[in-house]
Amino acid sequence: MSLLAPQKGKQEIAANLKVDVMIYGGSAGCVDEQTEVKTEQGWVKIPELSNKDKIYTYNADTNEFSYTLPDGQIESIEDDFYRLYGIGLDMVLTKGHTLIYWDKEGEVCSGSLNDLAELILENPTGYSFKDSKGNSFHVEGIQYYPSQDGLKYCVEVETGYFLARRSGCEFITGNSGKSRLLLNKAGYYAHTDPNFEGVMFRRTTKPLSAAGGLFSEAKKLFRPLGVEVREQSMEMHFHGEGGSKRNMKGGNLKFTHLEHEKDAEGNHQGLQYSFIGLKIV
């Protein structure tokens, strides 16, 4: 049995529900109340974070930090967390939270705690977590950690990653897992239905292609399924079940912006989409 079995409740319902319209307004992956976020004024516990506070965000493409306002902040009910601990490392996260890590080749990677937990325990030195100075830390163990206040907290930033601290231990971490939930839902249909035509929107193009963005995360997530990626147009064509590069049996998924009303009229009017995903924050 997996250390982190598929989460019951609203996330499982959202992933499996067959409806015409679904609005997912919660937070799929977050941190606990003892986690601190670095702001221009210093370290602040995440429940005390103001929507006017600029936080220290990380850009994996440039390996740089900068202070920026978050796209959104969320707190919601949560009973269950998991603690990842080691020398110089202390993270308390929900199972849907996005982890940013460095592999043995030094490449930046990401994935949800739910997907990575067993892999990390099997090969802890293959997964390095870093602080703002570039120091690397490894997980020695993962344990269930019940919520202390019954809530989970999350911020969403454009780059996908920000600096956090717990028990005096810094770590770079990721946004909540709503993007992963949205991608999983679209990917299921794209992989199984050759007639599938899906589109994923963000307000502007940059948050799609930046590290942690929908398009960049989709390439990592769907690579094992077999996909042909068109970088310039930000489109993905799925091999599908039993398919291949020469014999496509899957659908198509594209990623684009929707900043102005004229964008909808000029670029999408009359098109027949099987799936429309819109990530606001």
Identify the pLDDT of residue 4. 42
**Residue 17 clears pLDDT 90, i.e. is over it:** no
Identify the pLDDT of residue 32. 96
Element (H, E) at 67: strand 64-68
Distances (CA, A) of 218 to 6, 35, 167, 227: 20, 28, 33, 10
- The tens digit of pLDDT for each residue in 203-234 reads 777 767 765 677 887 887 788 889 999 999 99
Structure tokens at 12: 């499982």
Across 46-138, where does the E strand assignment appear? 55-59, 64-68, 72-77, 80-86, 89-93, 98-102, 108-112, 129-130, 136-137
Average pLDDT over residues 149-178: 87
Give the C-alpha separation, 69 to 71, whole Å: 7
Identify the pLDDT of residue 165. 97
- The tens digit of pLDDT for each residue in 67-109 reads 999 877 778 888 899 999 999 999 999 988 888 999 999 988 8
- The tens digit of pLDDT for each residue in 113-147 reads 888 899 999 999 999 999 999 999 999 999 999 99
**Residue 33 clears pLDDT 90, i.e. is over it:** yes
Give the C-alpha separation, 159 to 174, whole Å: 9
- The tens digit of pLDDT for each residue in 45-67 reads 999 999 899 999 998 878 999 99
Domains and CATH numbers, the chain: 29-175 (2.170.16.10), 179-278 (no CATH)
Please report, in angstroms and rounded to a whole number, the separation of the first and last CA atoms in the chain.
34
Task: Assign 183 a pLDDT band (cuts: 50, 70, 90).
Answer: confident
Identify which has the larger pLDDT, 43 or 160: 43
Could you say which DSSP state residue 47 is in?
Answer: G
Task: Assign 201 a pLDDT band (cuts: 50, 70, 90).
Answer: confident
**Average pLDDT in the chain:** 84
Structure tokens at 50: 């103001």
The answer to whether the CB of 255 falls within 8 A of the CB of 200 is yes
Amino acid at site 229: V
- Phi then psi for residue 80, to 5 deg, are -120, 130
Average pLDDT over residues 198-202: 87
Identify the pLDDT of residue 20. 56
Identify the pLDDT of residue 110. 80
Distances (CA, A) of 47 to 43, 69, 97, 204, 237: 12, 16, 17, 29, 41
Identify the pLDDT of residue 2. 42
**Residue 170 clears pLDDT 90, i.e. is over it:** yes
Identify the pLDDT of residue 177. 55
Average pLDDT over residues 38-42: 96
Average pLDDT over residues 32-54: 95
Identify the pLDDT of residue 194. 94
The answer to whether the CB of 236 falls within 8 A of the CB of 228 is yes
